[in-house]
Structure 1
């Protein structure tokens, strides 16, 4: 069974707005390594569209002018990855992606049953639904040394308390700390 891993950058005050956090080269390498541990990525519509806009190689095969050379390994990893997109509003997807429709719990459980090294999920709304279903096997919170004072927070509206056990910790030169957790008990 493939594990489903969730990773997200957050500020010290719990904000997960990507505009409040600017990952540096070291964090890009860390996130690229996380993505390489997965056979496929699982996104909701909003995250899929945001990632596609930022990290998709152009039709000419080039990267955007704003992209620093050290960002290219992350961009190549995400650009080439198999993607599953949970959406009831999109009619079609491309960018090596496939739509996931119907019962979310059954669809994701089926993806987890497929052979492979793992699935990576990002975003805010989809991971909330997956956490409620007890489908996330590992959580990674990359806590940034920033207080945003605004923005969306994680797991607002979670139906019941989620007990986690710390299984890994990594500090970065920027002062960010990646904390990895696994559920203490599985709920479904």
Structure 2
């Protein structure tokens, strides 16, 4: 999802260079006029000032859309997907999954599945640090088939077991109390 703040910034910057925004959405800006090279470069520089990037390469736009969908699914959605990730991403973007997967792998050097796993493990680390959920609840929340499956992936990615990772937080807190 594109934040409201980002949408406003993009609209303001388009107005500054004399362009009229029709729509701002995930990875796309729709404008009424044709944009020339000078306007595009000015927009690129102005957006960069806000930490935003103008992507005009179709492959990069697709990659950013895939990443945003995965981040939304893993970090911000509690719903269990009704279809598998590949079907969901393919349907959401309107492209064949094989094309999306090949493009993602060529550009990022990892598969979409690996990117999903990395995000799920990052989310598991966050949830472990908060300490509000136990490992069973975390594995359910992240749609793992079992605690063992989550634990195995966690160890492969981090080199630590989830339990040991969680214990590191407790050690840090004790060390802070000793100061």
Structure with the higher helix share, 1 or 2: 2
For this structure pair, what is the TM-score category when the shorter chain's length is used for normalisation? under 0.3
Higher relative contact order (CA 8 A, sep 6+): 1
**TM score, norm. by length of structure 2:** 0.24
Higher strand share: 1
What is the TM-score when the length of structure 1 is the normalising length? Answer: 0.23
* Pair member with larger Rg: 2
